[in-house]
Structure 1
Amino acid sequence: MAIDNDVVAALKDRVLGPEHKSLPPAAWGKTVREFLAGAPHLDDLQTPVLTLDRSAMDSNLAVMADWARSAGVRLAPHGKTTMSPQLWGEQLTAGAWGITLATGWQAQVGRSFGLNRIMLANALTDPIGLRWAAAESAAHPEFELFSWVDGVDTVKEMERHLESANVRLKVIVELGGPHGRTGARTVTEALEVAEAVHNSSRLTLAGIGGYEGALAHDRSADGLAAVRRYLTEIAWLHRSIAEAGWYGDRAIVTAGGSAYPDLVVDHLAGLADEEGAQGIPTTVVLRSGAYLIHDDGFYSGISPLAAGRTDHPLRSAMHGWARSVSRPETELALLDAGKRDFPFDEGLPVPQRMAGPAVQPIPEGATVTALNDQHTFLRLPGGSAADVPVGSVVRLGLSHPCTAFDKWRLIPVIDDSDAERPRIVDFLPTFF
């Protein structure tokens, strides 16, 4: 069992209350299941509100599962993007190999919902987290946890806290790059880390990996070249460790965020079938986290699976809905959403359309120019006082799902964000 479906299903029995943004007071005291039984629509909620599109998520699940399968790689989607056990379950049902998380606490949340294979894409040096990992692994041998190491000092710190443990934790040696994030800065340093893990009595060398998205931020020639060089080094590092005999009976090679999974496949997918690496069975794992939600900003501009780059593109599944609360100038509307509601770190929201069937369209050239804590500045060049009147609702395209979900404890799921009156079909609790 990849996840405990009964525990996930029980989330619908949670009681709604004032801590859940956008819900009307009439919903307080009801369970999620009871509120949904009333067949609510989006306009039954207050603004601002973030929504997820069920039809788009279903499409994205199928697109990515088919793409990974045809490429010969496995998926361990980065669960920190959503911190939604319901969505983790859907990804696993669609064929995901496991779920990736970023901190010891996140791994504990995942395990509380029955996740039995977690890639912890970070170093685990917190003593409480290490003791938990050792105890959980000892009590449940079927549970697989892979954490990362990028220095000999990290290996020593883990050994210090695991001195009394009676299990060996599985670790992935992380290769980084100049001006990147974590990760050994050179292949030589990564080999030293791998050797230290091989000689450890508390750790087992399970594979190698890294994150190419820290080395580039676009699809320029220079950016793509930097990613390709890095992935070539990962492949060389894997072969070197295999030839040294430092792996156990299998190996994992993991890379791939949501920006360059195509390059990861080009450079690493062949390792899964390679006979020259001392016959070590190798699983190549992508950790793409944003594909399920996609966006109307950063990922729509860089993903190889975005519209215009493939016959079966990903679709943006998240939108913001905000109400006009002030028209102090002819060419300015203030909406009731802000930084506390919608992501803004990888691009400001984009006005897409007015909600409802009988409202005038947004003028051409309308642009969001700023977000305050609780206001959106919608500029309307050449607009009139009749555009975006007070009380009207604007649908906004958003960028970067990784910083959208953490602003909402409960996210409504609608059937179709293009419908005249979208229907609410589910709610997703998040755990941040």
Structure 2
Amino acid sequence: MDVIGPGTKGFWQTAPVPATQWLAEGHHLFDGSLSWPVLTVDSAAVDHNVATMAAFAAEHGLLLAPHGKTSMAPALFRRQLDAGAWGITLASATQAAAAHAAGIGRILIANEVLDPSALRWIASVAPQVMLQVDSETGITALAAVADPDNPVPVLVELGHDGGRTGARDLPQLLHLAQQVQHTPGLRLAGVTAYEGGLPGAAEVRAFLGLLRAAGTAVAELIDGQVIVSAGGSAWFDVVAEVLGGMPGTQVLMRSGSTLTHDHGIYAQRTPFTRIPGELHPALRVWAQVTSRPEPGLAILGAGKRDLPYDEGLPLPLRRHRAGAVNDLAGWTLTRTNDQHAYLEADGAATELAVGDVVELGLSHPCTSFDKWRVVPVLDPDQRVVELLFTLF
């Protein structure tokens, strides 16, 4: 049973209560039931983003396997599955096992797995979990525990020079694909790649063209439909352009940060800056001004333990004071400590006082959720309508 209590970060609950009871009490962001800082999710924004990506995939003949490592929140996985997602992508066997235990029935692990214990579990739940390989060692490790009567579906990964994983050329990839095909307990399902580390559209387009060629070549080894998997959250328009319409192929697009979007890195990089459509930022951290030690400086009671800081610092959005809301102009969040953030003014800034609550927009969803065990979901009136329990 999920419980809200004294150890639940972001909540002011001095005695444990069942989460269902806490939610049924009809709490509001500012009724004293939450404590600062707290991360929240905008329910309407998530619904919009889920529908937007489902429509994009349908328009281009793609299937969605959105990356769940971003939130590790099964309730958000289910929203995407209910909207037609093919399955959920995870980054590790541990994440996959957690999602599987939460009832997610079709999972893609977008990495090679080498740990024997994890591989035994993957073999035991085949074919519900698919994974990828980019080395003979990975193939051998999986084959050592796989069941020939219940083979594990495998994608062979294509990489690029300087990239993090994947076979570096088509001959190497085809060699691995043939090895998978001829290994008992493994079933060659297709090819996969990650294009997000490339510097620009031309490089992404060329790399995905090679992936398309890899999918065509591997399809000759497969009796049936081949899977081609790609797609971070910055280039899914190019994924659709290059991979869309491949005959006899299921193209799985793994874009994950589209679910909540952000005010930072993905606001700048989303393909919807190039094509029609938009995503709405769904994440906020609410933090209180705890000190005004000198003119032009305000200290918030939220820091690295609460806020993402690896891909840009949070953006101050609004000031909340005794029910009044004002846009927070002239302030920039310049640095963070473990538990504090520094807001600096440019001289013509909105007035801030100790006790004010500052609403922060975030940059990089993937390092936002991992700091929170429970995340309140708010409706447009800032009432808590759902609680997301994360599996980090």
Which TM-score applies when normalising by structure 1?
0.87
Name the CA distance, whole Å, in 2 between partners of 1:239 and 1:80. Answer: 29
Instruction: Tell me the amino acid that sits aligned with residue 270 of structure 1.
Output: G
User: Residue 245 of structure 2 aligns with which residue?
Assistant: 270
The equivalences for 1:130-145 within 5 A come to 130-137=119-126, 143-145=127-129
User: Residue 3 of structure 1 aligns with which residue?
Assistant: none
User: Residue 358 of structure 1 aligns with which residue?
Assistant: 324
User: Residue 257 of structure 2 aligns with which residue?
Assistant: 290
Tell me how large the CA RMSD over aligned residues is.
Answer: 1.6
SS of 1:154's equivalent in the other structure is helix
Instruction: Tell me the amino acid that sits aligned with residue 376 of structure 1.
Output: A
> Does residue 37 of structure 2 align to residue 37 of structure 1?
no
SS of 1:368's equivalent in the other structure is strand
> Does residue 377 of structure 2 align to residue 413 of structure 1?
yes
Conserved in 2, the CA contact under 8 Å of 1:330 and 1:383?
A: no
User: Residue 9 of structure 2 aligns with which residue?
Assistant: 21
5+ residue gaps, structure 1, are 1-12, 138-142, 217-222, 275-280
| Superposed displacement of residue 113, structure 1 | 2.0
> Does residue 83 of structure 2 align to residue 94 of structure 1?
yes
The equivalences for 1:190-339 within 5 A come to 190-216=173-199, 223-242=200-219, 245-271=220-246, 274=247, 281-305=248-272, 309-339=274-304
Q: C-alpha deviations, 1:135-192, integer Å up to 9, x for none?
A: 222xxxxx42210011223212222343x66432110000010111111111121111
Name the CA distance, whole Å, in 2 between partners of 1:227 and 1:361. Answer: 38
User: Residue 187 of structure 1 aligns with which residue?
Assistant: 170
Structure 1, 295-304 or 109-118: larger mean CA deviation: 109-118
User: Residue 392 of structure 1 aligns with which residue?
Assistant: 356
Q: C-alpha deviations, 1:346-374, integer Å up to 9, x for none?
A: 10001111125436653x33101001100
SS of 1:122's equivalent in the other structure is coil
Name the CA distance, whole Å, in 2 between partners of 1:22 and 1:157. Answer: 42
* Alignment length (residue pairs): 389
Conserved in 1, the CA contact under 8 Å of 2:4 and 2:13?
A: no
SS of 1:373's equivalent in the other structure is coil
Name the CA distance, whole Å, in 1 between partners of 2:223 and 2:363. Answer: 41
Instruction: Tell me the amino acid that sits aligned with residue 337 of structure 1.
Output: A
Q: C-alpha deviations, 1:308-339, integer Å up to 9, x for none?
A: x4543110000111110011110000000001
User: Residue 140 of structure 1 aligns with which residue?
Assistant: none
**Which aligned runs of 4 or more in structure 1 are off by greater than 6 angstroms?**
none
Name the CA distance, whole Å, in 2 between partners of 1:351 and 1:206. Answer: 46
| Superposed displacement of residue 202, structure 1 | 2.4
SS of 1:214's equivalent in the other structure is coil
Conserved in 2, the CA contact under 8 Å of 1:205 and 1:248?
A: no
Which TM-score applies when normalising by structure 2?
0.95
Name the CA distance, whole Å, in 2 between partners of 1:238 and 1:64. Answer: 24
| Superposed displacement of residue 383, structure 1 | 5.1
| Superposed displacement of residue 125, structure 1 | 1.4
Distance change in 2, residues 1:311/1:185 (3 Å): closer
Conserved in 2, the CA contact under 8 Å of 1:206 and 1:248?
A: no
5+ residue gaps, structure 2, are none
Name the CA distance, whole Å, in 2 between partners of 1:246 and 1:125. Answer: 25
Name the CA distance, whole Å, in 1 between partners of 2:333 and 2:107. Answer: 39
Instruction: Tell me the amino acid that sits aligned with residue 169 of structure 2.
Output: T
Among 375, 380, 385, the residue aligned to 1:425: 385
User: Residue 343 of structure 1 aligns with which residue?
Assistant: 308
Conserved in 1, the CA contact under 8 Å of 2:93 and 2:113?
A: yes
| Superposed displacement of residue 38, structure 1 | 1.8
Conserved in 1, the CA contact under 8 Å of 2:157 and 2:192?
A: yes
Among 49, 58, 62, the residue aligned to 1:69: 58
Q: C-alpha deviations, 1:262-294, integer Å up to 9, x for none?
A: 0000000121xx2xxxxxx31111001011100
Name the CA distance, whole Å, in 2 between partners of 1:312 and 1:227. Answer: 21
- Percent identical across equivalent pairs? 43
SS of 1:196's equivalent in the other structure is helix
Name the CA distance, whole Å, in 1 between partners of 2:121 and 2:276. Answer: 45
Higher strand share: 2
